[in-house]
Amino acid sequence: MRRDARCARLCAITTHPPTFARPQSTSGVLAHRDDIQGLRGLAVLLVLAFHLAPRLLPGGFVGVDIFFVLSGFLITGLLLKTPGPGPGLGAFFARRARRLLPTAGLVLLATLGASLLVLPRTRWEQVATEAVASALQFENWWLARSGAEYSAAEVASPLQHFWSLSVEWQIYLIWMLLFGVATIAVRNRVRVALLGAVALTVASLGFTLLSGPLDADLRYFATPTRVWEFGVGALLAFLPALRGARWVREAVAAAGLVAMIGGAVLIDLAAHPGASALLPVAGAAAIIQVGRSGQATVIGRVLAAAPLRTIGDHSYAVYLWHWPVLLLVLAAMDTTSPGIGEILVVLLFTAVLSMATNRWLERPVRERMPLRRALVTAGLAVVLPTLAALPVVSATAALRAQLAVTAPSAEHPGALALGAGADETLPDVPFIPDVAVAGEDRGDTGPDLHCLTPRVTPVVCDFGDPTADRVIVIVGDSHAWQWVPVLDLVGRDLGWRVESLVRPSCPLAPTGVDIPGIGDDGDCALWRENALRLLESERPDVVLTTGLTPSGYEAIDFHVADVATFADGYLDVWSRLTNAGITVGAIRDTPYFPVDVPGCVAEHFRNPDVCDSSRAEVLDPTDDPLVTAAKRAGVPLIDLSDAICHATTCPVIIGNVLVYRDRHHLTATYARTLEAALIERLEAHGLLG
């Protein structure tokens, strides 16, 4: 859901911009146009359709591209008539704040409060943190950073749609700086502003088209890849109106509509906003420019008709409300995708909230409230959500001290409680880590998840005894990483240097991995080959391999080979390593639960046993290609299943330690309690010499 959850905030520009006198060369920019309101309505409908029925309209997210173009056109028109750089630009900024911030602040406060009531505690910090990021207008960069983390959020945030509002504010500041410099530098401010707008647009477009190597989340959320869309609209404000034969205007308008709708149907999210964004951007630009002639086209009349125009009048509120309403309704109904009933509920709540917000907040603040009082209201819209969210963030931060626990204790024995006559649970002692921070319990991943970066060049991280001569390397996807915390302890205690070679979602077995919306992950194949060459060159004493099972990959919508093909891939890899004189071993994969474990425990906090699963359901030996390959090749198989599960069940809490940080990764806290069991099995197979 994560990738589908990406959405775009619709353009937040004045519904009825003031009609300043304008130079002839740019006439028609500031005049109120019903077709532009209808274009807003069309754009918000595209986004709604994308979120409510993504299979019906897989490219509906292009609504954001349309609105960036609209925003660039109208905002630049306003700036061209704004005296600057002093009071004029200040007044422009004040009007933007009065227009955008009060509604945004209301939605932030309401969503934060509703999330604390509806969502499990595992989600509270995510929502609170994004409330702060959204209120302070850096949500896009926050998502670019956190989105790059593997499994950073298995479910979408009800506030992540504020990313584009952050982008828009950042572009406003860039444009204000451009016009301020143009006014100070020379007398011909329009020409300098035009040259600056052209330079920014071309630079941004070039960067976007060449941004393929960037992480997909960074490319999607970063401001530099969006400036050119705003810039295209801005350049229209410098141009004269499009005139000429009626059939030409009709053809251009029709082509513009086809381009936008075609983009909504055909464009793939994975490579967006790349060259594919040119289609909806050009379409929106065509509609805007044709409409400036003052002579309506058929398409213009359709857009200006009451239905689309009315939706456009409420588009800002519709956009801000629909996404949190959708996610909270899904959470309340305990489902991950909306059916007809959920869609109707979402549409009803969105319509009521949007109309109420427009009538009793947006319009009064914009049209009737004195500017000074309106600015105070806008300021409160920034301050209040931030103050409301900070206690939630602070409370969760205090719980992170639990993640510093590096060894079992009498109160939290973890795996040591299994079969040792100890109590597996101590009712009077809270388990660790708390569900609110369990998702972060990965161990020491280095700054900014350095050890888990999806690079083509393998990243080697060192653990264990740094002075030891003997070296053991753990290689694979994120399921290899979950063993690093316990191998670190083994290395320190037994005198081994431990190295990790991990790339998320990239098993060491040479089998194709098709990522949703992207296809074959060619970078994974490059990383694998580079990792194998590095191992063949360095020749460590022992290489341990492990990875997520095929059914586990399918559960996160990745398409991979079957178990037999996977097993053949591991056999090929092991053959290369043994031919290089390296001892190899395999670690059997861990259980894959049907639900998010911390979320389930948070929901059933007084009776977490209901989250336990049948061992046969979550740990099928026939599904693990490592088991199959190890038997065929005679490779030592390290099986710690009995240190994680009972004979028939797999508990989620053992020895007062939460076992899983999501559906299928061990918490680092629990993994460390497996040291004795891991040493026993490594020694039994002769892997420790």
Rounded to 10°, the helix 121-135/139-147 angle is 140
Is 343 inside a domain boundary? no
169 close to 251: Cβ distance less than 8 angstroms: no
Confidence of residue 572 (pLDDT cuts 50, 70, 90): very high
CB atoms within 10 A of CB 226: 26
H/E stretch holding 32 reads none
Confidence of residue 623 (pLDDT cuts 50, 70, 90): confident
Instruction: State what percent of residues in the chain have pLDDT above 70.
Output: 89
178 vs 268: which has the higher pLDDT: 178
pLDDT (0 to 100) of residue 19 = 29
Is 399 inside a domain boundary? no
Collapsed DSSP state (helix, strand, coil) of residue 467: coil
How many domains would you assign to the chain?
2
Asked whether the predicted pLDDT for residue 244 surpasses 90, the reply is no
pLDDT (0 to 100) of residue 429 = 79
Mean pLDDT, rounded, of the chain: 88
pLDDT tens digit sequence for 25-44: 444 566 679 999 999 999 99
**In the numeric block, which tokens belong to residue 547?**
């990875």
63 close to 315: Cβ distance less than 8 angstroms: no
CB atoms within 10 A of CB 208: 24
Name 473's bridge partners: 499, 543
Is 612 inside a domain boundary? yes
Name 559's bridge partners: 514
Domain match, 464 and 604 both:
yes
Q: Say which residues have a Cβ less than 8 Å from residue 410's Cβ, sequence separation at least 6.
A: none
30 close to 77: Cβ distance less than 8 angstroms: yes
Enter the DSSP assignment of 359.
I
Whose structure tokens read 């103050």?
A: 387
Confidence of residue 147 (pLDDT cuts 50, 70, 90): low
Q: Which residues span the domain enclosing 544?
A: 415-684
Q: Measured in whole angstroms, how far is the alpha carbon of residue 175 from the centre of its chain?
A: 27
* Boundary residue ending a domain (273, 296, 312): 312
Name 462's bridge partners: 499
pLDDT tens digit sequence for 371-429: 888 889 999 999 999 999 999 999 888 888 777 767 778 888 999 988 654 455 566 77
Whose structure tokens read 């009803």?
A: 348
pLDDT tens digit sequence for 413-460: 999 988 654 455 566 778 999 999 998 899 887 766 788 888 889 999
440 close to 668: Cβ distance less than 8 angstroms: no
Domain match, 281 and 428 both:
no
Confidence of residue 605 (pLDDT cuts 50, 70, 90): confident
Nearest to 168 by CA among 144, 145, 200, 137: 137
Domain match, 422 and 298 both:
no
192 close to 185: Cβ distance less than 8 angstroms: yes
Strand 513-515 to 460-464 pairing: unpaired
Nearest to 60 by CA among 43, 77, 83: 43
* Boundary residue ending a domain (312, 345, 361): 312
Is 568 inside a domain boundary? yes
Domain match, 171 and 295 both:
yes
Q: What's the Cα-to-Cα distance from 662 to each of 63, 440, 596, 599, rounded to whole Å? A: 33, 10, 5, 8
Strand 513-515 to 559-560 pairing: antiparallel
Residue 390 to residue 127: CA distance in whole angstroms? 11
Phi then psi for residue 419, to 5 deg, are 65, 15
pLDDT (0 to 100) of residue 27 = 46
Name 654's bridge partners: 657
Is 249 inside a domain boundary? yes
Confidence of residue 519 (pLDDT cuts 50, 70, 90): very low
Q: What's the Cα-to-Cα distance from 15 to each of 32, 364, 506, 663, rounded to whole Å? A: 8, 13, 48, 46
CB atoms within 10 A of CB 327: 28
Dmax over CA atoms of the chain, in Å, equals 90
Domain match, 301 and 420 both:
no
Residue 91 to residue 624: CA distance in whole angstroms? 64
| CATH number of the domain enclosing 455 | 3.40.50.1110
Is 511 inside a domain boundary? yes
Best-predicted range by mean pLDDT among 83-87, 422-426, 467-471?
467-471
Q: Say which residues have a Cβ less than 8 Å from residue 389's Cβ, sequence separation at least 6.
A: 112, 127, 128, 129, 131, 132, 135
Domain match, 514 and 641 both:
yes
pLDDT (0 to 100) of residue 81 = 83
pLDDT (0 to 100) of residue 689 = 78
Strand 657-658 to 653-654 pairing: antiparallel
Collapsed DSSP state (helix, strand, coil) of residue 298: helix
Q: What's the Cα-to-Cα distance from 180 to each of 81, 466, 535, rounded to whole Å? A: 12, 56, 57
* Boundary residue ending a domain (287, 312, 337): 312
Is 466 inside a domain boundary? yes
Instruction: Give the predicted TM-score (pTM) of the model.
Output: 0.82
Name 432's bridge partners: 657
Nearest to 360 by CA among 392, 317, 394, 401: 317
Enter the DSSP assignment of 289.
H
Domain match, 489 and 621 both:
yes
User: In the chain, count of helices (H) and strands (E)?
Assistant: 28, 13
Domain match, 295 and 421 both:
no
Is 275 inside a domain boundary? yes
Collapsed DSSP state (helix, strand, coil) of residue 428: coil
Whose structure tokens read 């990790």?
A: 500
**In the numeric block, which tokens belong to residue 118?**
């509806």
Residue 256 to residue 157: CA distance in whole angstroms? 33
Q: Which long-range contacts (CB under 8 A, 24 or more apart) does 555-562 make?
A: 555/592, 555/663, 557/516, 558/505, 558/513, 558/514, 558/515, 558/516, 559/512, 559/513, 559/514, 560/507, 560/511, 560/512, 560/513, 560/514, 561/511, 561/512
